[in-house]
Structure 1
């Protein structure tokens, strides 16, 4: 740990703490006025006012800016703008005023990022800090992909991007930021089975799609073990099956399956999807039906760069954050697209308080305001780890 970066950590932390009341107020305002993916402009406007810096639009409703040195290397810190189409059930006085909700902590991330940037404006940073206000984290097409492909981060000489995400599986006061594989590569498989409809009393005159659709659905998870090495995580989970339109005596002509496929890399997902296509065609043919399979790659795997993860712990500890065991899961996050253009780091900030916590995306998920400080400190530690890496180049 560089001595001057250690000193900067102390100064930044103290300055950040001076903004905690404003950060809490901003979090409540954002939480009360959620905007779903693709409609985030009001949230971007709130952040523009809070940051007090020039921002340029990116990826539609997103924005980026820069504080600190305006030339030379920079470090990006992401904040996600979008909420979910979830009806809130927290019961707090600042609950959502619409049928959308910040049920994934994005309100906390944005408010903490605002505090980090406002504090940074009063410091002598060694490298630029680029707040990345990203739209569409929760949906396709990915806002992170649009930003990564825009070339703006590269043009601003962003060497690393940092992300911080609250998580109910990590204890409050701790942060998990281990190196290597963190989140899965995720894609979507869609299957449409087509047969011949008819009357339920005369099944021999039709080729109903119900039976082959059911057999394909049962077979999809089974395909995984015939393609993927059992020592490497992979899965297919079916989210939707639809056959028929509610009548008992009408043979359905079509059936549909919609599933997620996840593994440690996108190439493996494509292999699994190809195997599903082969299986579905064979099963459907056995019932004199046809099956059409489409695959959408979705998100690449999220990998934390060792040059950042190995440095993060020391700065996090200096900021009174405990280093938790590395979190690896089959969840997915489009933050992975930043890792494809530069070494990046995602850290999971604990919000578990010892009681049974609702999961992310639950209508009662609401991290305490104490989490805001830890999210901000994790972002600061991430910037300092990145600055350390740049200085060591």
Structure 2
């Protein structure tokens, strides 16, 4: 049976906006008929594009349904000028919960890790690599203060079982996969990403939550992509796992070491990792049960490592373009205009699901036929 078409109405102006990413914006909306409150993710894209980004993302989410950490999805529509995805309305991200510059309680970090490891096990078991694990993509459930959901599968892909490819991001002027601050060393080195890389990013998230910061700082807005990538790569390479973990239980440093020790085709031992942190919780008189997450601010003042920013030759980054006018995604949807429709072209088939699987997933996804924006009736 074909699912009934869906119609949505965005919340009033000033109340609708939830957040935005490189090429999308998320709104609060209401499903007409049922009154269900949902989140609507919207991306500007031409109808000429046959494999747009949100269509890929909802296929991934449909594939992953059935795990508590995967948000429910309700519908997809590719209308004139925009594509839309409706999904479960969630609470704040752990990035929003953490106070700027402060650390988080060890118990809370263990609780988050336990849930995230279970989520990654589910995602990887279905052949998918997330490729952008970071605090902004780990959201609290709207229904309780304990459950963590993982979002933003826009750059996720099936992982390859063949020989890994490799490129030089600096020499070839190519962007790394994921977010620079949280990316694995393999991503910085242009190596195909695998489950081990999601685990490495998660380990960096855990250390950041504990410490309140990491030795590499967010890069200046207008700095060239090549410079940002290379400086952060050198600083990450210079940081030993034990140094990052000074003053905290060694299990957190061990998680980073373990992730970097895995081969590309190896799956992490998720159960052993979860048991290790469960034992740690017991040792420090905590539990990994369903109690509320404690966001009490901690100021641990981590003692190491302190790194100087490495030298970077201007010749290395001069690719003949103005770094303030490059074509990499900006962290704002509002700057996008019609000239970017074609730039958001068809998704490469190498990073999509098999065609037959895509058709099966499309058949179970209700179609969004209308999204009413009350403040744009003019």
Higher strand share: 1
TM-score by length of 1: 0.25
TM-score by length of 2: 0.26
Specify the structure having the higher radius of gyration (Cα): 1
